[in-house]
Structure 1
Amino acid sequence: MPNVENQQSDLLVSSLQKGVLTISINRPERKNAMNNAMWREMTTLFERASMDTSIRAVILKGAGDDFCAGADIAEFETLRATAESARVYEAGNSATFAAIRNCQVPTIAAIRGICFGGGFGMAAACDLRISSSNALFSIPAARLGLAYPADAMSDIVNAVGPQLAKYLAFSAARLDPAAALDAGFILEIVEPGGLDMRAAELATVIASNAPLSVKASKASIRAVLSKDANDYARANALGDATFESSDYGEGRAAFLGKRPPQFSGA
C-alpha cells in the first residue's frame, strides 16, 4: 500500500516506520461523519492492509477534534429513504465493520472527541482502543428509529460486555472515557495532545514483534470469543506455522545473544 497522504481525500492514508499504516477519517467539518463512498473506501483500505505483508499494524483515527460521528445523516433522505435502500446502505456499513474485524494485523483505534454510532462500531471492531480525556461515546440508533446489525453488535458486546451493550443500545446514553475505561472498551486514556504519539508508540511496539506470532495470537483470541470450529482450526494452523518459521529461529538466537530480534515475517 503506497505511502500517500492526499489532503483533498475524505480518508487519508499514511505510513509510519516499521510497517505501521495510519488511516485518518478526514471530514472534520462534519465531525468525520462517514458517507456512503467513505464506507466503501474504508472497506477496501482494510482489506488491502490485511493482505499486505509489509503492514504489521493499522491505526484508525479522525482528523481534527473528533473520531467519527457515525453515518452522515445528510444522506438519510436519499440513500436511506426506503426500507430497501436502508438495507443496502447497512450492508455497506457491515462490510466495513467486517473488514476491520477480519484484518489479519492488529488494529488500533485512536479516539478523540465524538465516537458515535458507526464510529463506535468501527472502534469496537478494532483490536485495541485508546482515547483522549475529552472523548465521548454513544450508540444513538434508538433515537433514529434504527437498529444495529447483529454482526456489528457482536463487536460491541465483545468490547463492553452484554449488560453495558444493552444499556447503550436501549438508552442511547453517552459514555465518558472513565466509564469506557472501567468497562474495558478502551485500554487507556491520554491527554488530547498526546493521543497520536501514544497510538504510534503502541503500534510500533506491536510491529516490532514477530508478525506470524501476532497474527496467530489474534486468531486464537478470535476463536475463543467466537467459539467457532473454523476459527479454532485456523488459529491452530497459524500457531503451528510459527514453529517452522525463520522468525522462531531469530527469536531464539536474539534471546541467547541478548540482542533485539529482527523479525522478517517469514
Structure 2
Amino acid sequence: MSEPTYNSTTERVQTWLDGRTLHIRFNNPARHNALSVDMWEAVPPLLAQAQDDDRVRLVVFSGAGDKAFVSGADITQFEDMRAAKEAVAYYEKMAETTLMGIADFPKPTLACIRGYCIGGGVNVAISCDIRIASTDSVFAIPAARLGLGYRYSAMKNLVDLIGPGAAKDLFFTARRIDATEAKSLGLVSRVCESDALPALLAEYASAMADNAPLTVMAGKAITREILKPSPELDHALCASLIRGCFESADYTEGRTAFMQKRKPVFNGR
C-alpha cells in the first residue's frame, strides 16, 4: 500500500514531505506572500492529514522567495472580504480556524522566517512552537494603523510569548523591528545569516526526527495546559471590543487609506 501524498487545494500554498518534516510554503511572491482566502483555507486539511501521519514529526511554515515570510493580508481581497459585516465575520472565522489549528496541532511546528513578517505573518509565526529567522527579516503588527480589530487569541499568543510590556509596545506603536530586536524580545528563538538558514532549519528537522515523539508531544500539550486562561476571563467583552473596531468609521478610514497609500486620519469613532 502506497504512502499518502500531500496535495494543497491551491497553487499559492506548496507542500511536500522531506523525511519526517512536512513543509507548508506560502507561495504568493508577487505580493510578498500576502495571505489570500484560498491560502488560509488550504492549511487546515494539510494539518489534519499530518496529524494522523506517523511519518511527520515536524511541520515547517515558510514563504516562497527571499523577500517575505508573509507580509499580511492580500489587499486585493481586502475590500471584498473585510468591508461588509458578513465578510468580516467569515474572514475572521477562517483566519481563526487556521491559526488555532496551527496552535493546537499536537506535533511540533516551526516558522522559518526570511524577509517581511508583518500582520498575519506574525500571527502565523506566533501560532507555531518555534521561530527561526534570517538577519534580513522585518517584523511588525500594523493593526493600529488600519483600525482593525486584533483577535483575543492572537493577542494572547503574543502576550504569552513576549510578555505584556513588549506586546503593548509593538501593538500600540505598530513599529517595525529587525531580527536582532525580535530575538531580544523573544519573538524568535534564533537568528542567522540568510545563507545559513537552511542549515539551521535542518538542525531542527534532524532533532525532531531523532527525538521521542510521544515525549515531545506530551511536553507541547502540558505547556498548552499551563497557558490556559483564567476562568474569570470575559470572552464576550473581548469579542465585543473587536467587533466595535471592525464596525467603526476608523476601520473604514484605515482600510481606505491603506488602499490609497496615504496616512489615515482616525477620529476614534
Tell me if both proteins adopt one fold, taking TM over 0.5 as the criterion. Answer: yes
Which of 186, 189, 192 lines up with 2:188 in the alignment? 186
CA distance in 2, matches of 1:4, 1:48: 8
Aligned residues: 227
Instruction: Determine the structure 2 residue equivalent to 1:136.
Output: 138
CA distance in 2, matches of 1:5, 1:194: 29
SS at match of 1:70: coil
Q: Which amino acid aligns with 1:176?
A: D
Q: CA deviation at 1:169?
A: 1.4
**2:58 counterpart of 1:61:** no
Q: Which amino acid aligns with 1:189?
A: V
Residues 195/3 of structure 1: CA separation in 2 closer, same or farther (3 Å cut):
farther
Q: CA deviation at 1:83?
A: 2.2
Instruction: Determine the structure 2 residue equivalent to 1:198.
Output: 200
Instruction: Determine the structure 2 residue equivalent to 1:35.
Output: 36
What is the correspondence of 1:1-266 to structure 2 with a 5 Å cutoff? 2-3=4-5, 9-17=11-19, 19-65=20-66, 66-226=68-228
Q: Is contact 2:6-2:46 (8 Å) kept?
A: no
CA distance in 2, matches of 1:23, 1:38: 11
Residues 126/75 of structure 1: CA separation in 2 closer, same or farther (3 Å cut):
same
Residues 157/51 of structure 1: CA separation in 2 closer, same or farther (3 Å cut):
farther
Runs (4+) off by over 6 Å: none
CA distance in 2, matches of 1:72, 1:133: 25
Q: Which amino acid aligns with 1:139?
A: I
Residues 2/138 of structure 1: CA separation in 2 closer, same or farther (3 Å cut):
farther
Once the two structures are superposed, residues 39-60 of structure 1 have per-residue CA deviations (whole angstroms, 9 ceiling, x without a partner) of 0111222232223222111111
Question: What is the aligned-residue RMSD (CA, Å)?
Answer: 1.8
Gaps of at least 5 residues in structure 2 are 232-269
SS at match of 2:180: helix
Q: Is contact 1:11-1:25 (8 Å) kept?
A: yes
TM-score, normalised to structure 2, is: 0.80
Once the two structures are superposed, residues 179-227 of structure 1 have per-residue CA deviations (whole angstroms, 9 ceiling, x without a partner) of 1111111111111122123112212212211111111011111111226
Once the two structures are superposed, residues 86-143 of structure 1 have per-residue CA deviations (whole angstroms, 9 ceiling, x without a partner) of 1210111111110100111100100010000111000000000000000000001111
Q: CA deviation at 1:73?
A: 1.3
Gaps of at least 5 residues in structure 1 are 230-266
- Stretch of structure 1 that moved more, 103-112 or 186-195: 186-195
Q: Which amino acid aligns with 2:57?
A: R
SS at match of 1:9: coil
